[in-house]
Amino acid sequence: MTAKPKSGSDIRARLGLRPIINVSGTMTHLGASIAVPEVQRVASEILPEWVEINDLHRKASRAIARATGTEAGFVTASASAGITLALAGCMTGADLAKIEQLPDSAGMKNEVVIQMGHMTGYGAPIEQAVRLAGATCVPVGNVTDARAYQLAHKITEKTAAALYVVSHHTVQYGQIPLAEFARVAHEKGVPVVADLASEYDLKGFHAAGADLVIYSAHKFLGGPTAGIVAGRKPLVRATFLQNAGIGRGMKVGKESITGTIAALEAWEQRDHDAVRKLERSYLDLWVKRFTGLPGVTATIIPDPTDNPLDRLMLQVEAETARITAWELADALASGDPPVIVRDHEAEQGFFQLDPCNLHPGEAETVADRVVHELSEARKRNRPQQYSHAERKLRRFERLLRWPD
């Protein structure tokens, strides 16, 4: 195996944390992303200073509006918080009495229509983000088949908003496209809130009809832990005013607001073509290293939500490889150095390698680790050791033992 790449910091060692290599993606449970240098710099500069937070929010609003092509924007704790607060804003408007009343939504429009195929989880159920606002989800259609007439039928005088989700977690077919979804909602006088936490396109979804768009600042943007809400000014103002109510527990600090501004500015200046070229070199390296290995097939595949990036899908034929996809994923995660793959579909016999978060030298290390674990599996020549169901159960049991 090649030498392990050197980290730029020994903070993980000091804290007793494993020096993982992330080829899973911009996942919250792995720290979401690597903050770009501009964000690191401004966060450290603002932390020793006093600021008037609402004025800083005004600065952020202008930066967000410019980057997203909207009228205004707001920074909150996360994209999940953004969903809750955006829906609350649709329910209360700028009425401070109603804002203080939430999550008791008595006397307000408090239903949110959402396609059943979009009722997913991202570490928590999206329905819970709706309920935190005091609202109730009204499912539209079936899991794999939703129609415009079904959406129109579910919108009533109680409907506060229509929620649209773009994510690899959702069903990827049989859903109402955003433009048609927005058209139906707008014909009924209902605003559309779009959850776009992991999306590259900062302008297209608002242009397609979403009144409020929600992004993560700490995923592809490489910003601090924060969520971004952008859109029509009255609705953004109503979302911001939730800081006087349920949003108080979702507030962000000065470092997150300034860091979000810096991340957006850096995004506008980034050479995205050069980034894609570098990522493609990692993918090509992996294909070259894995082609011809017994029991595995390496294929470059596009992102399911049309983000401008590709990943490597490694299909594992367990009988030939002498190891299942999930066992290989676990072996990589438990080895030295630990490599965390994108394994949420491992029970189907494959996992993915995401090239977007690698430090120099780590792509080669990932390749070495995969080749090594496959070689060790063939040497052991043992059948499957545990089922995917057993693996899933162990993960839940470990979570329930926390902090032990």
pLDDT per residue over 360-396, tens digit each?
999 999 999 999 999 999 998 777 788 999 998 998 8
In single-letter form, the type of residue at position 101 comes to: Q
Q: Is 16 exposed, middle or buried (0-12, 13-18, 19+ CB in 10 A)?
A: exposed
Q: In this prediction, what percent of the chain has a pLDDT beyond 90?
A: 87
Is 29 a residue whose pLDDT tops 80?
yes
Q: Are 225 and 32 in contact (CB under 8 A)?
A: yes
pLDDT computed for residue 10 by the predictor? 83
Tokens of 200: 């590259």
Instruction: Catalogue all structural domains in the chain, each as residue range(s) with its CATH number.
Output: 11-31+271-400 (3.90.1150.180), 37-269 (3.40.640.10)
Name the band, by pLDDT with cuts 50, 70 and 90, for residue 404.
confident
Is 50 a residue whose pLDDT tops 50?
yes
Q: Distance between CA atoms of 153 and 379, rounded to whole angstroms? A: 60
pLDDT computed for residue 28 by the predictor? 84
Is 5 a residue whose pLDDT tops 60?
no
Q: Are 56 and 258 in contact (CB under 8 A)?
A: yes
Is 3 a residue whose pLDDT tops 80?
no
pLDDT tens per residue, range 52-69:
999 999 999 999 999 999
Mean pLDDT of the chain: 94
Name the band, by pLDDT with cuts 50, 70 and 90, for residue 4.
very low
Give the pLDDT mean for 229-235: 98
Give the pLDDT mean for 122-136: 96
pTM exceeds 0.85: yes
pLDDT computed for residue 9 by the predictor? 65
Q: Distance between CA atoms of 366 and 65, rounded to whole angstroms? A: 39
Q: Distance between CA atoms of 201 and 118, rounded to whole angstroms? A: 19
Contacts by residues 116-120 (CB-CB < 8 Å, ≥ 24 positions apart): 116/140, 116/141, 116/142, 116/143, 116/146, 117/141, 117/142, 117/143, 117/144, 117/146, 117/170, 117/171, 117/174, 117/175, 118/163, 118/164, 118/165, 118/170, 118/171, 118/175, 120/165, 120/167, 120/169, 120/170
Is 205 a residue whose pLDDT tops 80?
yes
Higher pLDDT, 186 or 386: 186
Q: Are 71 and 232 in contact (CB under 8 A)?
A: yes
Tokens of 180: 């048609």
DSSP for 172-186, written as a single string: -SSPPPHHHHHHHHH
Buried b (16+ CB within 10 A) or exposed e, 165-189: bbbbbbbeeebbebeebbbbbeeee
Name the band, by pLDDT with cuts 50, 70 and 90, for residue 8.
low
pLDDT computed for residue 1 by the predictor? 39
Name the band, by pLDDT with cuts 50, 70 and 90, for residue 70.
very high
pLDDT tens per residue, range 309-351:
999 999 999 999 999 999 999 999 999 999 999 999 999 999 9
Higher pLDDT, 395 or 137: 137
Q: Which residues does 51 contact at the CB level (< 8 Å), separation at least 6?
A: 254
pLDDT computed for residue 30 by the predictor? 86
Is 15 a residue whose pLDDT tops 60?
yes
